[in-house]
Amino acid sequence: MQRDDYITRLGLTPHPEGGWFKETYHSDDRYFALESHGQRYRYTSILFLLAAGHPSHFHRLNHDELWFYHAGDPVTVHCINADGTYQTVTLGMDLAAGQVPQFCVRQGTIFASEVADTADCGLVSCVVAPGFDYQDFELFTQAELLAKYPQYGPAIERLAFKTK
């Protein structure tokens, strides 16, 4: 299947950080999440599609996010960890090449993701616990990130929005 087939057949819509998504599940109950200062589902899950030229731009969540690879081209997650170190992890099924089928982005990590420019698309699921809420989501601009992490300039310039 190609990008547009996935988007149509799965009912995906554009995500504010980039790519396309659809919420698929959330817990039946909610609770008061101290770190969010509000009511949250215990978990939420989305299908998430990235395509060449349509990355997920640098952002941060205040909860862990689990990523699960499903289909298509490998997806690379770029992380600026809480201690300022940079890491990439590629989701896919070519284990011999170092790809992994799942990965956890820890809370507080600034991260973005993409497929290669020569790729069509990659399909993953993302599960956030406690559940995702836009109040727990922070999107970054190139200027904000370059001021703090100039050593990661090429990735920031490619994967962060110029303006919000």
pLDDT tens by residue, the chain, 164 residues? 999 999 999 999 999 999 999 999 999 999 999 888 999 999 999 999 999 999 999 999 999 999 999 999 999 999 999 999 999 999 999 999 999 999 999 999 999 999 999 999 999 999 999 999 999 999 999 999 999 999 999 999 999 999 87
Domain ranges of the chain: 3-159
CB neighbour list of residue 100: distance below 8 Å, 6 or more residues apart:
69, 89, 90, 91, 92
CB neighbour list of residue 58: distance below 8 Å, 6 or more residues apart:
78, 80, 110, 111, 112, 139, 140, 145, 156, 159, 160
- Give the pair of three-digit tokens for residue 106: 């820890």
Cβ atoms within 10 A of the Cβ of 140, count? 22
CATH 3.40.50.720 describes domain 3-159: no
Q: List 129's β-bridge partners, or say none.
A: 64
CB neighbour list of residue 5: distance below 8 Å, 6 or more residues apart:
none
